[in-house]
Structure 1
Amino acid sequence: MSRRDAGMATAEVAGAPLVVALHGGGYHRGYFDVPGHSLLELGAAAGFRVFTPDRPGYGASDPLPGGEATFARQAEALDATIGALWTEHGEGRPGVVLLGHSIGGAIAVHLAARQPRWPLLGLSIHGVGDRSPAHVTDAWHALPAGAPVELPPEQRRALLYGPEGTVDAEAVAAAKAAVEPVPLAEMLEIVGKWPEEVARLAAAVTVPVQYTLAEYDGLWVVDESRVAAFTGYFEAAPWVDARLQAGAGHNLDHHRLSRALHLRQLAFAAECAARG
């Protein structure tokens, strides 16, 4: 699997960890680099080195052999990718903080549960839950088998973004440059197998966890009880920072609150590194 990096900090903060961010379904790594909402630019300005590898089969990344890109197999491949990043860029650093959005968040949990050999310091996930609305699950199961799926613009806007006032039309338009078709198997796993195994996987995570679920996330059941239930699965984590984020939708990284999210994620990374 090929890999690319971005967000090279020009004045890195001493003791800063590597930050690796995994994109969700239907977007390549450019999801984190939308103009005006770029995690890469903000991370570099704050002195962090941020890497955003394409997941298997997206962007510059090769598909997995046999085409079976389950979350577990993607985690295995990304484990090796991040290990290579650590070997090349980890000298003098305390470890890696892993970020994941949506399906990338589910795969990040898989990855953390693997207890990787490279030093994982913390896990920050957003846009992923444990229970999807029935209409979303039914819609995914009704899609024709075989071909990757690209949501129509109006459906993408309704499911992935909050109402007017939470996101600018320019950001939604700019994010289209990162859109790619999503394998149907990913969509079915996130509403099927993932909810059945998240508690088991999360229980194996032994690093601090940051969790954010947006108020207007159209892909998950959203309320305080779901946030509490989800974070409760991380019973072995030293500490958990959880938030139900008002005023944003699923693609929180592109909303008007994106800077606040990214600053919290970078602060979490710095705290994980400091507390070790």
Structure 2
Amino acid sequence: MTTTLIDLSVDGRKIAGLAAGGDAAGTPLIVALHGGGYGSGYFDVPGHSLLALGEATGFPVFALDRPGYGGSDSLPRGRATFGDSAEVLDAAIGALWTDHGEGRPGVVLLSHSIGSAIAVHVAARRPHWPLLGISLHGVGDRSPEHIISAWRAIPTNGPVELPPEQRRALLYGPAGTIDVEVVEAAKASVEPIPLEEMLEIVGDWPENLAELASKVVVPVQYTLAEYDGLWVVDSSRVATFAGYFTSAPWIEAGLQPGAGHNLDHHRLSRALHLRQLAFAWECAARATAADEYDDRLTGQERHT
């Protein structure tokens, strides 16, 4: 696999990340947004790399460092909200589309955890570039009370580093769902989490989710892992979350057995990534078919 570094300048702000090129005809641009406490390398763990699989199947994949992570500039103090991040990423993805979108049907966002919350914000903005769909996992609408209490009790305004044992307990499923060496390899992409993100994901996010989701007018794929330690997990929560997207033309939603929060690093990661890419392909194919149908209708009108 050939991975290249992304270095974008958008309105004077740097957005960095990783890219892997696939060139199959008809494939959309894939933009991946990582969660809290990881950079773009979250999607490039050896043996579980979304970028490698995307390249192998012909999809161009761009994993962006969200503002404040990796090589990307931080947002100003007091502006590190999901909505502000979405505004910056909206512009960055627009720049990617300008540079790499020629001949492609559009963009599909694949996202994890806090990145999924921000992906909903991006979609709710109804960006000017052609967003075809959003795939969300590692996010929910209700956190366990002990998580809410723990996040709110953190006595600092700076970035937070979760101890390795807490990271293992909250973000990964039980033995048998993961390989120990993969958890170790994933540590290379670990970064501190801005406390603002931790507080927003258990505060404003669940309060604002229904309103935001109602503004999303593209297809949605949603997956919640059985052993996700950051969210209340059961089939009713999956159905409730999917039900917020009242304007989406179609929705795929399911509970993933045998995996934890960092589903991309579990033994079932390949299954997740293949489903995500299949979803992206279907979004692109349906959009292309709809455009061709509209073109035929327009042509008929010109000749009547």
Show structure 1 runs of 4+ deviating over 4 A: none
AA aligned to 2:101 is G
SS at match of 1:138: helix
Q: Specify the alignment match of 2:9 in structure 1.
A: none
Counterpart Cα distance in 1 of 2:261 and 2:139 = 9
Counterpart Cα distance in 2 of 1:269 and 1:176 = 28
For the 8 Å contact 1:28–1:179, the answer to whether it is kept is yes
For the 8 Å contact 2:226–2:260, the answer to whether it is kept is yes
Determine which structure has greater relative contact order: mean sequence separation of CA pairs < 8 Å that are 6+ residues apart, divided by chain length.
Answer: 1
Superposition map of 1:236-255 within 5 A? 236-255=247-266
Q: Specify the alignment match of 1:8 in structure 2.
A: 21
TM-superposition CA deviations, 1:19-51 (whole Å, max 9, x none): 000000000000000000000000000000000
Counterpart Cα distance in 2 of 1:8 and 1:94 = 16
Specify which of 158, 166, 184 is matched with residue 195 of structure 2.
184
For the 8 Å contact 2:110–2:136, the answer to whether it is kept is yes
For the 8 Å contact 2:90–2:122, the answer to whether it is kept is yes
2:219 maps to 1:204: no
Counterpart Cα distance in 2 of 1:274 and 1:107 = 25
Q: Specify the alignment match of 1:87 in structure 2.
A: 98
Specify which of 180, 186, 200 is matched with residue 169 of structure 1.
180
Counterpart Cα distance in 2 of 1:168 and 1:94 = 37
For the 8 Å contact 2:17–2:70, the answer to whether it is kept is no
Counterpart Cα distance in 1 of 2:240 and 2:150 = 25
TM-superposition CA deviations, 1:128-161 (whole Å, max 9, x none): 0000000000000110121211100000000000
Counterpart Cα distance in 2 of 1:238 and 1:96 = 16
For the 8 Å contact 2:66–2:72, the answer to whether it is kept is yes
Q: Specify the alignment match of 1:61 in structure 2.
A: 72
SS at match of 1:147: coil
Counterpart Cα distance in 1 of 2:173 and 2:249 = 32
Specify which of 143, 160, 175 is matched with residue 171 of structure 2.
160
Superposition map of 1:1-276 within 5 A? 1-9=14-22, 12-66=23-77, 68-276=79-287
AA aligned to 1:6 is A
SS at match of 2:18: coil
For the 8 Å contact 1:33–1:41, the answer to whether it is kept is yes
Identical columns (%): 74
Counterpart Cα distance in 1 of 2:106 and 2:200 = 30
TM-superposition CA deviations, 1:188-211 (whole Å, max 9, x none): 000000000000000000000000
AA aligned to 1:266 is L
Which segments of 5 or more consecutive residues in structure 1 lack a partner in the other structure? none
Larger-gyration structure (1/2): 2
Counterpart Cα distance in 2 of 1:86 and 1:196 = 32
How many angstroms does 1:67 deviate by?
5.4
Counterpart Cα distance in 2 of 1:134 and 1:46 = 41
Counterpart Cα distance in 2 of 1:119 and 1:60 = 26
AA aligned to 2:232 is V
AA aligned to 2:175 is E
**Structure ranking higher in strand proportion:** 2
Query: How many residues matched?
Result: 274
SS at match of 1:65: coil
Question: How large is the RMSD of aligned CA atoms in angstroms?
Answer: 0.8
How many angstroms does 1:93 deviate by?
0.3
Counterpart Cα distance in 2 of 1:203 and 1:2 = 28
- TM-score when normalising by structure 2: 0.89
SS at match of 1:57: coil
